[in-house]
Amino acid sequence: MNRNGDLRDEGAALPGGGTEETGDFHRLASPPAHLGGTPASRQPAADLKGSAASGPAAADNRPGLGLRSTVLVACLAFFVITLDTTVVNVALPSIGQQWDGQVSALQWVVTAYTLLFAALLLSAGAISDRIGASRAFTIGLSVFTLMSALCGLAPNLTVLIAARAIQGAGAAVMMPASLALVRQAYDSPAQRARGIALWTAGGGVAVAAGPVVGGALTTGLGWRWIFFVNLPVGVFALVGMLRAPRSPRGRSPMDPAGQVTAVIALAALVFAVITGGSGGWTSPTTIGGFLLAVLAGTAFLLVESRQSDPAVPLTLFRIPSVAVCTSAGLALNFGYYGLVFVFTIFFQEHRGASALTAGLMFIPMTAFTTLVNLLAGKLTNRYGPRLPLILGQVIQTAGILGLLLVRQDTPTPVLLALLVPLGIGGGLAIPPLTSVMLESVPHERAGLASGVLSAARQFGGAIGVALLGALIADSAHFMTGMRISLVVGAAVLVVTTLGVALFLPANPPASRLP
C-alpha cells in the first residue's frame, strides 16, 4: 500500500509465488460505494486485462486455510466498523434518558466516531504500508474492540464520547488494512474481484442493518449491548489473525503535520456547530470554535501546499470533476446521516416509538438504497455517470422537501413512504459519483482519490449530524427545528446538484493532475 491509500504495493510479494498485478485492477482497491469507494462487484471482467498473476500459483486461485480465515476476518471486521456508523442512532434516546443528556451531548456519541474515522482515513493507508497490513489491522482491531468494551462499560457520557472517538480511530486504521488483506489472499484477479465483492457486500449489509440491530439490542438487552456485541466478533477476528501471513512493509512517507491540522480543523468546526445549537451562535465558545477551525484549516492548506508528499495534494482539486464529486459526496452524506439522526429523535421522543420500532421504520429507506445501488451501475454504463448522479441528487432533494409535510400525527405508512426517496437518491447517486472520481485521475492516483472521497463523505455525515442536530436542540420547538433542518439539507443538495449540472461533462474523460 502506498501512502496515498492505493493498495497495489501490498501485493508485491504474494503468497504462492504470484506477483503484483499492473493495469486497471487497482481500481478495485478502494472503499465500497456506501463509503465512497469503488463498487468492486460491478467491475467488468474486461477491466482486469493485463492483470494476470504470474508463476505456478496462478493455476490454483484458492487461498490456503490461513488466508481463507484472513479473508473471513477482514470481511467480518469491515461489517462491524461500518455497522458502528449507524447502529448507535436509535439508542441515543435511551442513552440520554440514563444520564439526562441533551441533544447536543448525544450528537457527540455519533460524531466523535465518524469525525476521527474521516480525518484519520487520510493517513491510514500510509500507516498500513509502514507497518504492514496484517499488523495495522491487528492494532486497529485491538483498539476498536477495547474501546467497544469501554463504551459498553462507560460510567458517564464523557467517557462514552471519548471511547467512541478512539474507536473511530481504530476503525480508520482497520478499513484500508482489511481490504489489503483481502487482496493479498488471492493471486488471480478474478478471485480477488470476488473477494473484494464479498468485502463490499458486508459493508452494504451493515449500513442497512444498523438501525434494526441497534433497535433490537437496545429494546431487548439495553443500549450497552450495541457495543458489547462487537466483543465476540473482535475476539474471533483477533484469533483468526493468528493464522494470517505477515504482510510486506513499505516506506511510504508520513504527513503528521497535515494529519494533526486536519483533525483539529474538523473537530473545531463540529464543536462550534454543536455548541452553537445549544449555547447560542454568538457565544464566545462558539465563535472561538469557528476561529480555531479557520486557523487550523488555513494551517492545513499551508502544510499541504508545501509538503513534497502531502496526505491530500491540493492540485487534485484543480480537476473540476474531482472538486464537484467531493462536494457532492459530502452533501449526500450531510443530508442522509443528518436526517437519520433527526428522525431517530423524532420517532422516539415525539411519536413514542421504541428503539426497535424506530429501527424498523428505516428499513424501507435502507432497502431501496441497496436495491437502487445495483440499478445505478447499469444506468451509468448506458447513459454515462452524469444523468444518474443528477437524478439521484434531485430525487434525494425532492424527498427531503417532501418530509416537510410530516406532522407528529402523520400516519406511519405515509411517513415511511416519504423517507424512501432519501434512500433512492443516495443509492442512485453514489456509484456514478465514485466512478467519476476514480476516472478523473491517473490510475496511480485512484487510491488517493478514493480516500479523499471516503473522508469527505464521512465528514459530511459528521457535520450533518452536528448542524441538523443543533437545529433540533430546543425540544420545545422541535418541529420548527426539524423543518429548518430539512430546508438546510435540501439547500446544500441543490447547490451541489447545480455544480454537477454545470461543471461535470456527460462523459468526463480521465484527467491528469496539474
Nearest Cα neighbor of 261 from 305, 198, 319, 201 is: 305
Q: How many CA atoms lie within 13 A of 229 on its CB side?
A: 21
Q: Are 219 and 364 in contact (CB under 8 A)?
A: no
Q: Which grid cell is 44?
A: 467488468
Cβ neighbours, 10 Å, residue 288? 14
Q: Are 199 and 179 in contact (CB under 8 A)?
A: yes
pLDDT of 512: 44
Per-residue pLDDT band at 452 (split at 50, 70, 90): confident
Per-residue pLDDT band at 446 (split at 50, 70, 90): low
475: Cβ–Cβ under 8 A, 6 or more apart, which residues?
A: 103, 349
For the stretch 306-319, pLDDT in tens is 887 787 888 888 88
How far apart, in Å, are the Cα atoms of 388 and each of 35, 91, 371, 428? 18, 34, 14, 6
Confidence check: pLDDT of 426 > 60: yes
Q: Which grid cell is 438?
A: 476514480
Question: Dihedral sign, CA of 500, 503, 506, 508?
Answer: negative
What gap in Å lies between CA 9 and CA 15, rounded to an integer?
14
pLDDT of 411: 93
What gap in Å lies between CA 11 and CA 77, rounded to an integer?
21
Confidence check: pLDDT of 28 > 60: no
pLDDT of 248: 60
More confident residue, 445 or 121: 121
Per-residue pLDDT band at 482 (split at 50, 70, 90): very high
More confident residue, 176 or 368: 368
**Lookup result for grid cell 460524531:** 111
For the stretch 237-296, pLDDT in tens is 888 887 766 666 556 667 788 888 988 998 899 889 888 877 788 899 999 999 999 999
**Lookup result for grid cell 466483543:** 231
Q: Where are the domains of the chain?
A: 7-45+60-255+309-503, 256-308
How far apart, in Å, are the Cα atoms of 101 and each of 160, 161, 344, 349, 481? 12, 12, 15, 13, 19
Across the range 211-220, mean pLDDT stands at: 90
For the stretch 356-382, pLDDT in tens is 999 899 989 988 888 887 788 778 778
How far apart, in Å, are the Cα atoms of 441 and each of 244, 377, 448, 475? 33, 20, 9, 46
What gap in Å lies between CA 253 and CA 44, rounded to an integer?
33
Q: Which grid cell is 149?
A: 468494551
Per-residue pLDDT band at 67 (split at 50, 70, 90): low
What gap in Å lies between CA 511 and CA 223, rounded to an integer?
48
Cβ neighbours, 10 Å, residue 54? 13
What DSSP string runs through 71-135?
HHHHHHHHHHHHHTTTTTGGGHHHHHHHHT--HHHHHHHHHHHHHHHHHHHHHHHHHHHHH-HHH
For the stretch 112-121, pLDDT in tens is 998 888 888 8
For the stretch 341-358, pLDDT in tens is 999 999 988 888 898 999
Confidence check: pLDDT of 224 > 90: yes
pLDDT of 193: 66
Nearest Cα neighbor of 311 from 436, 457, 124 is: 124
What gap in Å lies between CA 317 and CA 320, rounded to an integer?
7
Per-residue pLDDT band at 85 (split at 50, 70, 90): confident
7-45+60-255+309-503: what fold?
Growth Hormone; Chain: A; (1.20.1250)
pLDDT of 250: 57
Q: Is 511 helix (H, G, I), strand (E, B) or coil?
A: coil
Per-residue pLDDT band at 2 (split at 50, 70, 90): very low
Mean of all residue pLDDT scores within the chain: 79
Q: What is the largest CA-CA distance in the chain?
A: 70
Confidence check: pLDDT of 405 > 80: yes
409: Cβ–Cβ under 8 A, 6 or more apart, which residues?
A: none
Q: Are 55 and 17 in contact (CB under 8 A)?
A: yes
- What distance, in Å, lies between the first and last C-alpha atoms of the chain? 24
